[in-house]
Amino acid sequence: MQDLQDELRAIVGADQVFVGADIDDRYKIDLTKKYASQPGYVVRPATAEQVSAVVKLAHATGTPVTPLSGRTGLVGGGVVTDGGIVLSLERMNRILDVDITSMTMTVEAGCILQTVQEAAEAQNAFLPLDLGARGSAMIGGVIATNAGGNRVVRWGMMRDMVIGLEVVLADGTIISSLTKMLKDNAGYNWKHLLIGSEGTLGIVTRAVLRLRPFPASSQTSIVAVNSFEDVITLLRQLESGLSGRLSSFELMWGNFYQCISEANLPRRPRPLPLGSPFYALVEAMGSNPADDAAQFEREMEKVMASGLVTNAVIATSERERQGLWAVREELEAGLATYFPFLSYDVSMALAEMPRFVDAATANLHRRYSNARIMFYGHAGDGNLHAIASIGETLTPDIRISIDSAIFEAVREVGGSIAAEHGIGQSRAAFLSWTRSPEELQLMRAIKAALDPRNILNPGKWPEIG
Ligand SMILES: Cc1cc2nc3c(=O)[nH]c(=O)nc-3n(C[C@H](O)[C@H](O)[C@H](O)COP(=O)(O)OP(=O)(O)OC[C@H]3O[C@@H](n4cnc5c(N)ncnc54)[C@H](O)[C@@H]3O)c2cc1C
């Protein structure tokens, strides 16, 4: 152990290796406080070459390595095996290049998402990825989890914004393909294998990201809708009526809207009265402020006149816009009323959402008659979150039972148990519920080929490696 410690210090510098009591709690316990471990070492490299040297050493000694970025992951993926190395990317936080001609930016993995968004904006460019954890999540983490967020309905997930990638493989090899080309069909696209692999196949060190023109205008509204059928019609109507400018369509079931808006009062006035089965937060972005606002209002009038929308409020300032988003993003006080709770991140075809919601609710109530459950999410992408509580302490057996209730419903509608947060530790036991034996075998073969000693984030997906 002393040898390993000395060698790590020789690679990254004595002041960037932490052991024993010097290891800060933030490297031991995850954000959800559900997962914890005792790392052997915390190492904070400053370059890809240092990452490579650390990984080579881990490979040679068979020591587990877990990469860690902004620590906002919600599934326990960033908690290392006891005694392993936490490899924190936080010092690799330089924006290397903003190229307005190619509309790309090249960044290190430890850059905070919001910092990258702001650096793009300073050049009148736009990185569309956006999520509630923007102030802490880092580029390496959002690539490793293929994060989604609030604007997938228009611009896709992180995968759709990564053009070039640099990773360190399990044997320490640095694969650097920091290209700025959108098109490259020369052989297997290995980048897409790495994106979303949650630190199990390689460590992201740098990336080239695709930028878009900065939208000069945005219009935001919360609308009330009477039925799920009307929700789908509304979504499709806005997609075409807003000429492709619809950038967010966040759906909230009535009880979620009530819970969150109630808890945020009086700090945040409630945008629309209670009592509707559904509320949708709708946002459009464009490049022509005067025309865009008029078009948005016209479309809103149309959907109100046809009865698709029963009530609506449109933000008239940035402050009001933030007030509307608060119902969807400032969840802490509302969720506290469900504590202790379990949260889910599942996906399915949009048309299957009502069947899923009914089945999940029925499955849960069959097991726990006093259970409470509410749904919300990025419905424009078929992605739903669920918050489930039975009003008592969640023992491991109860957790499995509630997980099973939800995932049985996911399986019934042919959905996925992990829409955007990933598998990590919390979904590991259920990977096979929505993946076939053949798919799992393929994943095992990929893991064995790229990480034969199983040192990269081992134990996270036990069925794979
Ligand atoms: C308030 C809040 C809102 C959120 N909203 C969304 C949302 O809308 N959409 C969404 O998709 N997620 C959301 N998340 C989840 C989370 O923010 C994302 O999963 C994010 O992508 C994680 O980034 P991170 O830098 O915090 O990664 P971490 O938590 O540090 O790590 C996450 C995983 O990636 C691995 N990893 C980290 N860095 C690297 C690297 N450089 N190379 C290889 N592997 C690495 C880790 O080992 C771990 O398995 C939300 C979380 C919070 C707290």
Cβ of 204 closer than 6 Å to ligand 1, yes or no, is yes
Distances (CA, A) of 349 to 150, 382, 405: 18, 6, 19
Cβ of 92 closer than 6 Å to ligand 1, yes or no, is no
Cβ of 45 closer than 6 Å to ligand 1, yes or no, is no
Identify the sign of the CA torsion 30, 32, 33, 35. negative
Please state whether the predicted TM-score (pTM) of the whole model is above 0.85.
yes
Q: Are 228 and 181 in contact (CB under 8 A)?
A: no
Measured from the CA of 148, which atom of ligand 1 is nearest?
11
> Tokens for 453?
């000693």
Residue-wise pLDDT tens digits, 246-290: 999 999 999 999 999 999 999 999 999 999 999 999 999 999 998
Cα–Cα–Cα angle for 171, 423, 349, rounded to 5 degrees: 130
**Mean pLDDT within 172-201:** 97
Centre of ligand 1 to C-alpha 318, Å, is: 27
Centre of ligand 1 to C-alpha 254, Å, is: 28
Q: What pLDDT sits at residue 465?
A: 77
Residue-wise pLDDT tens digits, 191-230: 999 999 999 999 999 999 999 999 999 999 999 999 999 9
Centre of ligand 1 to C-alpha 85, Å, is: 19
Percentages helix, strand, coil for the chain, rounded to the nearest 5? 40, 20, 40
Round the average pLDDT of the chain to a whole number and report it: 96
Q: What pLDDT sits at residue 459?
A: 87
Q: What pLDDT sits at residue 119?
A: 98
Closest by Cα among 143, 23, 134 to 72? 134
Q: What pLDDT sits at residue 435?
A: 95
Centre of ligand 1 to C-alpha 147, Å, is: 7
**Mean pLDDT within 3-9:** 97
Q: What pLDDT sits at residue 464?
A: 84
Write the residue with the smallest CA distance to atom 19 of ligand 1: 73
Residue-wise pLDDT tens digits, 21-39: 999 999 999 999 999 999 9
pLDDT at 461 exceeding the cut of 90: no
Distance CA 195, CA 148 (A): 12
**Mean pLDDT within 327-353:** 96
**Mean pLDDT within 320-346:** 96
Q: What pLDDT sits at residue 41?
A: 98
Place of tokens 């068979």: 62
Cα–Cα–Cα angle for 111, 113, 115, rounded to 5 degrees: 70
Cβ of 66 closer than 6 Å to ligand 1, yes or no, is yes
Q: Which residues pair with 165 in a beta bridge?
A: 177, 207
Centre of ligand 1 to C-alpha 72, Å, is: 5
Residue-wise pLDDT tens digits, 86-109: 999 999 999 999 999 999 999 999
Q: What pLDDT sits at residue 337?
A: 97
Centre of ligand 1 to C-alpha 279, Å, is: 27
**Region for 219 from its dihedrals, namely left if φ exceeds 0, alpha if ψ lies in -120 to 50, beta otherwise:** beta
AA letter at 46? A
| DSSP reduced 3-state for 413 | coil
- Mean pLDDT is lowest, of 30-34, 125-129, 403-407, for 30-34
**What is the signed CA dihedral for 321, 327, 332, 333, rounded to 10 degrees?**
110
- Count Cβ neighbours within 10 Å for each residue of 438-456 and write b for 16 or more, e otherwise: eeeeebeebbeebbebbbb
Cβ of 142 closer than 6 Å to ligand 1, yes or no, is yes
Cβ of 426 closer than 6 Å to ligand 1, yes or no, is no
Q: What pLDDT sits at residue 2?
A: 74
Q: Is 21 exposed, middle or buried (0-12, 13-18, 19+ CB in 10 A)?
A: exposed
AA letter at 251? L
Distance CA 288, CA 305 (A): 25
How is 24-35 classified by DSSP, letter by letter?
A: -GGGTB-TTSS-
Q: Are 243 and 217 in contact (CB under 8 A)?
A: no
Measured from the CA of 89, which atom of ligand 1 is nearest?
41
| DSSP reduced 3-state for 66 | strand
